[in-house]
Structure 1
Amino acid sequence: MKQSEVRDVMAISPVIPVVVTPSAEAGVEIARALLAGGVGVIEVTLRTAAGLEAIRAIRREVPDICVGAGTVWTAEDARKASDAGSAFIVSPGITDAVGDRCVELDLAYLPGAQTISEIAHHQRRGLDAVKLFPASIIGGPKAIKAYSSVFPAMQFCPTGGISANTATDYLALDCIPCVGGSWLVDATAVANGNWQDIADKAAAAATLG
C-alpha cells in the first residue's frame, strides 16, 4: 500500500470504522465481525496500549480486512504501526513528520484538518484527501460542500459526531467517498462479546451511500 493509494482505502467501504479496542483479542473479534457484515476496512486507534498489538493480531488473523492505525501523532508511532502491519495511517490534525514518515514507508496517509487553512496546507504538500474532524462541529455537510468549492480536487473523510442516521447526508456529496464512524463498534457490545451486534451494524453501513 503506497502513500498515494489512500483513495483506494477510502473506496473500500462507505464507512471506515474507528475502533478503540481494549485488547488484541477483542480487536480480532471486532475485525471478524466487521468483515462478516461486509465492511472490509478497520481503523484501530492508538488511544489504548492494546492498539499496536491489535493491529498486529488483526493482520495475522483476519488478513482479508484492510487494517490501519488512527490517532497517530508522531513519526515513531507511524513506524511502529507500519511494523505492526498497518496498511494506512490516520492523524486527527496536521502532523507533517508523520506524513514524511509515511512517504518513506510507502504507507497510505490520511491527515486531519478542520479549517480552510489546514486543508490548504495539506494540498500544498501534495495530498488530495483529508480527514475532517470533528465534522459535526465544523458545520457538517453544508460546511464540507463549501470547502469542496474551494478545493474541487480534494476528497474528504468526515469523522466525529456522525451516526447511522446522518451518514447519508455526508455521503450524498461527491467529494465524500466515505465517513469515519465509531457507531459500528459499541463499547457495550465489545464488553459483552456481542460480535453479532457489530456484524449487523456493519451490514447496514455497507449499504450506505
Structure 2
Amino acid sequence: MTATDVLGPHRIVPVVVLDDLARADDLGAALVAGGLPVAEVTFRTPAAGAVMGALAARGDLVVGAGTVITTEQVDLAHRAGATFVVSPGLSAAVVRRCQELDLAVLPGVCTASEIIAALDLGLDTVKFFPAEAYGGLATIKALAAAFPQVRFVPTGGITADSAPSYLAHRAIAAVGGSWMVAPDLLAAGRWDEVAARCAGAVGLYAPSASAELQGASS
C-alpha cells in the first residue's frame, strides 16, 4: 500500500499534536465538517496512541501516525488503526516494519542520498522535511529533476500562503501542515475555526469543493 493510495484525493495532511484524548472526537468532527477527513497524529505527546485509536474508531477519517522513529511506534500505530506512517527521517527498520504490516510509509528525506536509500527500499513517495528550512520548493525542483519517478510530501513550515505553490508542482503528491489544527485552536476547543480552516485548505487545491462546503454552512 502506498501513501498516495491511502491519502486518495486529499492533498493536504493536517499534522496534529493533541495531548487531550477527550478532545479527539471533536477534532475528528471538525476535520470531517471541513471536508478534510485526514489526520497525521504525531508521537509528540503521551496521548498520541489513544488519540489515533479514537479518531480511527470514528470510521470517517484517514488516520496516520507521525514522528515515528521506532518499530515499536509502528506497531502501536498499527494497533491503534492507523493506515499510514510518517517519519522525520529515513529508518530502514521502520520502513520494513511498515511494509510487513501493509502500512503506507513516508520516510523523511532532504538529500539525494536519502532518496536513493528510499528507492532501494521500494518506495517512490517520500516526505521532504523540514521543507522550508531545507530550501523549500526550489530544493524539491532540483531533486525532482534528478529523480523524476519520485513524488514528495513536503512538511515543515508550510502555510496556507505557501501551500499553493507547492501543490502546483508535478512532483508534489501532498503537503503536510498544522495551520488548520494549530495547538492553540485545539486547546481552546475552537472547532468551528478548525473546520473553516480545513475548508480553506481544501480550496487551495479543490476550489469547487470548498465553495460547496461554504455554501452548505451558510
- What is the TM-score when the length of structure 2 is the normalising length? 0.91
Secondary structure in 2 aligned to 1:206? helix
1:57 to 42, 54, 57: 54
2:38 equivalent to 1:41: yes
Correspondence list, 1:137-152, <5 A: 137-152=133-148
Alignment: residue pair count:
205
- Alignment RMSD (CA, Å): 1.0
C-alpha displacement of 1:9: 2.7
Unaligned runs of 5+ in 2: 206-218
Q: Distance in 2 between matches of 1:9 and 1:149?
A: 26
Q: Deviations over 1:140-159 (max 9, x none)?
A: 11111111011101110000
User: Gapped runs of 5+ residues in structure 1?
Assistant: none
Q: TM-score, normalised by structure 1?
A: 0.95
Which amino acid in the other structure matches residue 17 of structure 2?
Answer: V
Q: Report which stretch shifted further, 19-28 or 119-128.
A: 19-28
Aligned partner of 2:19 among 2, 22, 33: 22
Query: Which residue number corresponds to residue 132 of structure 2?
Result: 136
Q: How far apart in 2 are the matches of 1:35 and 1:95? A: 32
Question: After the TM superposition, which residues 21-170 of structure 1 pair with which residues of structure 2 at under 5 Å, given as runs?
Answer: 21-60=18-57, 62-170=58-166
Identity %: 45
Aligned partner (choices 2, 13, 35) of residue 5 of structure 1: 2
Q: Is the 8 A contact 1:25 1:57 kept in 2?
A: no
